[in-house]
Amino acid sequence: MDIIRLAIVGYGKIARDQHYPAITGNAAYRLSAVASRNAQVDGIAHFPTLEALLEAETPIDAVALCTPASVRTRQARLAMSHGKHVLLEKPPGATLAEIETLKEEAHRCGVTLFATWHSRHAHCVASARRWLTTRQILRVDIDWKEDVRVWHPGQAWIWEPGGMGVFDPGINALSIATAILPRPFHLVEAQLQVPGNCQTPIAASLDFVDGVNVPIHAEFDFRQADTPPIWDIHVETDDGRLSLTDGGSRMLIDGVLQEEGPDAEYAGLYERFAALIARGQSDVDVAPFRHVADALMLGYRHTVEDFIE
């Protein structure tokens, strides 16, 4: 297969921390350009915007959109209309409906659209899914708590409409839950804590049930200051308690470690993107995003103290 000439759009935290090493560490790709208003990468062609990159007719095959969701759909449409394959950071957009238009556009333009869920590529997610297929699930508890000041420094967009607040990391937990649990589930109640000066929640408490009334409870919190983050999912079954911890990189049964592995989520994403391009396919699953939309639609809002970074 030909090398995929790729441009990163929006060179912020996740582009620097994860996309750059994953792309440059995969022989299927060449990082050909970066489009970012305020950031550059030594030795790589730079453009302030995606528009400038496309107007310059830079030879690229694909773009990785690492900008906030509120601007990503416009950028994805533009890139696809120029015949470029598109990898979307999570969440895939700011609204559910716009993802439908993107799917149609990808089909019409004959390009690959990949809505990524990096947490689904965590080391133990596939093993957890396999283990659960033969057990009866009794209840699920999700704890996803981190310090917003550490993990989202200077990201004012996270508090704006479309920024999703604590659901920005919380959706990672939902992407794992929707991948490992055998049945679809839906929200029945949500409590949202919203700082007085913000548009999006700083914490959320969610209750779901699945089709056979198994309860699924989730606690998301951005106020985990001075303590390590918690990114854990616990599943009680008729045959023991499965725990996926550290974002899915460790799996325990009844507290006994079964498996653990290195963080290779973005390596997995880029392998999958190359495979989708080779097969001429797209992969756009909105299941985790739908749960967030439901929480914002159904949730009780409680105003809490202002957030000052």
Indicate whether 251 belongs to the interface with ligand NAP (CB under 6 A). no
Among 30, 46, 141, 151, the residue binding ligand NAP under the rule CB under 6 A is 151
Give the integer Cα–Cα distance in Å for 290 and 120: 16
Indicate whether 195 belongs to the interface with ligand NAP (CB under 6 A). no
Q: How far is the CB of 183 from ligand NAP (least distance, A)?
A: 27
- The answer to whether 103 is a known catalytic residue is no
Indicate whether 89 belongs to the interface with ligand NAP (CB under 6 A). yes
List 13, 84, 90, 103, catalytic entry: 90
Q: What is the largest CA-CA distance in the chain?
A: 60
Give the integer Cα–Cα distance in Å for 31 and 47: 13
Indicate whether 247 belongs to the interface with ligand NAP (CB under 6 A). no
Q: How many CA atoms lie within 13 A of 219 on its CB side?
A: 11
Return the residues of window 37-56 that contact ligand NAP according to CB under 6 A: 37-39
Indicate whether 14 belongs to the interface with ligand NAP (CB under 6 A). yes
Indicate whether 74 belongs to the interface with ligand NAP (CB under 6 A). no
17's tokens: 């921390």
Q: Reply yes or no: is the peptide bond before residue 91 cis, omega within 30 of 0.
A: yes
Give the integer Cα–Cα distance in Å for 251 and 246: 9
Angle of the 167-180 helix axis to the 125-133 helix axis, nearest 10: 40
Indicate whether 10 belongs to the interface with ligand NAP (CB under 6 A). yes
Position closest to ligand NAP via CB: 12
Q: How many CA atoms lie within 13 A of 162 on its CB side?
A: 14
What residues act catalytically? 90
Would you tell me which residues interact with ligand NAP (CB under 6 A)? 10-15, 36-39, 66-69, 71, 89-90, 118, 151, 155, 157, 168
